[in-house]
Structure formats: C-alpha cells, structure tokens
Amino acid sequence: MDAATQPILKMTGISKSFGGLRALMDVDLELYPNEILAIVGDNGAGKSTLIKVLTGVYQADEGSIEVEGEKASLNSRRDSIDAGIAAVYQNLGLVDTLAAPANVFLGAEPIRKVMGLPFIDNAKMKTDAIRILKERVGVEFPDIDEPTRNFSGGQRQAVAIARAVNGTDLKVLVMDEPTAALGPEETKNTLNLIRTVKERGTPIILISHNLDHVFEVADRVQVMRGGKKAGVVEIAKSTKKDVLGMIVGTGIATDAVA
C-alpha cells in the first residue's frame, strides 16, 4: 500500500469506561488524506466520547492512536493540538464582542515592542487573519472589523475554523454538529465551507445527526451504536437507508475503505 492510501489518523481498539458504564468498546477509526469522514449514531452511541478521546479531553483505558504513522499520546487538549488535531465545537467558542482577527488569534496575538514595551500588533493580526481566512478557509469578509456577533452562522464557523488552523501544523480538523441550529441558507454556506476546507488539504472528521448533510459532503461514514463501531461505508456506494439501518441495528455492518 503506497503512502497516499495510508491513514493520516488511526485509532485502534479504543475503549473507555466511566465507573460501570462502558462508553466505548474496542473502537477503530481511520481517516485518510483528502477525505471527510462522518461519524453518525444515536445519542449515547459513543460519538462524543470517541472524539473527546481524540482531542485529549478523555484518556482511553485501552487502545492506541497514530498520527501520520507515529504513535501519539493524547493526555490533554494541548497534546492533541501539538499532534495536529484541532476541533471546532457546536458553540464555536468565539468572543462575540471581538472582531474576526482577534478571535482568530485569541491567546496567540502577535506582539510588537514600542520603546521596549509589548503591544498587540493589530495591523499584523488583521493582515494575517485575512490571509488565513482566504488561503486556508476560502472566505473573504468585507466587514472583518465588525464584532463577530454581527456575523452570520456560516461566517462564524469560518472564523472558528481559521482559529483552529492558525499557528499549528494542522493534520486533522474535527467539526462537531456544524449545521446545528442553522437556517437553510446558512446551512448551505457551511456545507460549502466544509468542502472548501477539505479541498485546501485538511481532512475532516464530521460529527452530525443529519444524514442529508452527511451525504452532501462526506466521503465515508462510520456508524457508532452502543459504544461500538457498527460499520463504515463509502457514501458513493451506499444510501441513507443503508446507514439508517446500521444506526438502528437492522442493517448489515460493513467496512469499505475509500
């Protein structure tokens, strides 16, 4: 198997318990370069726990994680970020009173010194934010100096993604329910945004309850059920009915690597 078909991310035998509750049982996951892998399943299926293990929020009781073929010890969110894994959660985590550049660089603002005193370099921050948004996320804002509370849902997603890709050698982007609570037009814009991020070279793990959206943007879908991997299918070779059957337990579990 050549390098192009090697997974950029590989989770093997991941198990996690909370007291007597087994949230994950021997779960595998593989994410390949230039793909969107959707993870679907009912509430309590293990989707969130698996992603929290990947992002260092939880530590697995058993199993291993590899990034670009190298074993990764993800004992904290910082470990995950350092390994090139970033997440954009449903609440986005933006400071609504700040403009897009300040949100993109939140906690990592460029500094310049004036007479030996440090000041935030607002001009550089704005210039770099515009470049990151255009080159890595594929968007341009005519009103970039406006507070992000005035932005649309899709624009806010773009700012959150830009912050995720800024300042790190990003290898994997996790997006948690990015279209939740969005209207039709904002949903369309967000799905286009997800496609653009993939086209610019960032593989994505997409957690979603909406199979219509999954089938619009994903390359493969992994179904979780009862803390286990029920199966993985290629979008191009399956239907929403197939996936729904796996979610509820009436379908046939399968594994098909794109």
User: Rounded to an integer, what distance in angstroms lies between the CA atom of residue 244 and that of residue 256?
Assistant: 17
For residue 32, the model assigns a pLDDT of 96
For residue 253, the model assigns a pLDDT of 54
pLDDT over 80 (residue 26): yes
Q: How confident is the model at residue 167 (pLDDT cuts 50, 70, 90)?
A: low
Sign, CA dihedral 231-235-236-239, equals positive
Who wins on pLDDT, 224 or 135?
Answer: 224
**Which letter does DSSP use for residue 212 in this model?**
H
pLDDT, mean over the chain: 88
* CATH fold group of domain 1-84+171-258: Rossmann fold (3.40.50)
Q: pLDDT of 97-156, one tens digit each?
A: 999 999 999 878 888 888 888 888 889 999 999 998 988 888 888 889 999 999 888 888
Neighbours of 79 (CB within 10 A): 15
Asked if residue 144 lies in contact with residue 101, where contact means CB atoms within 8 angstroms, the answer is yes
Q: Strands of 21-31's sheet, edge to edge? A: 21-31, 9-18, 62-67, 70-71
Q: pLDDT of 31-87, one tens digit each?
A: 999 999 999 999 889 999 999 999 999 999 999 999 999 999 999 988 998 899 988
Cα–Cα distance list, 83 to 2, 12, 71, 108, 225 (Å): 23, 17, 10, 18, 28
Q: pLDDT of 1-10, one tens digit each?
A: 344 579 999 9
Asked if residue 101 lies in contact with residue 129, where contact means CB atoms within 8 angstroms, the answer is yes
For residue 254, the model assigns a pLDDT of 54
Stated as kind and residue range, the H or E segment containing 245 is helix 240-248
**CATH 3.40.50.300 boundaries in the chain:** 1-84+171-258
pLDDT over 50 (residue 256): no
Asked if residue 80 lies in contact with residue 11, where contact means CB atoms within 8 angstroms, the answer is no
Amino acid identity, position 219: D
Q: How confident is the model at residue 255 (pLDDT cuts 50, 70, 90)?
A: low
What are the phi and psi torsion angles at 227 (to 5°)? 80, 5
b/e 149-188 (16+ beta carbons within 10 angstroms → b): eebebbbbbbbbbbbbbbeeebbbbbbbbbbeebeeebbe
Name the β-bridge partners of 65: 11
User: Rounded to an integer, what distance in angstroms lies between the CA atom of residue 135 and that of residue 200?
Assistant: 8
For residue 217, the model assigns a pLDDT of 95
For residue 112, the model assigns a pLDDT of 85
pLDDT over 80 (residue 168): no
Q: pLDDT of 73-107, one tens digit each?
A: 999 988 998 899 988 887 888 899 999 999 999 87
The three-state secondary structure class of 170 is: coil
User: Rounded to an integer, what distance in angstroms lies between the CA atom of residue 239 and that of residue 258?
Assistant: 15
For residue 190, the model assigns a pLDDT of 87
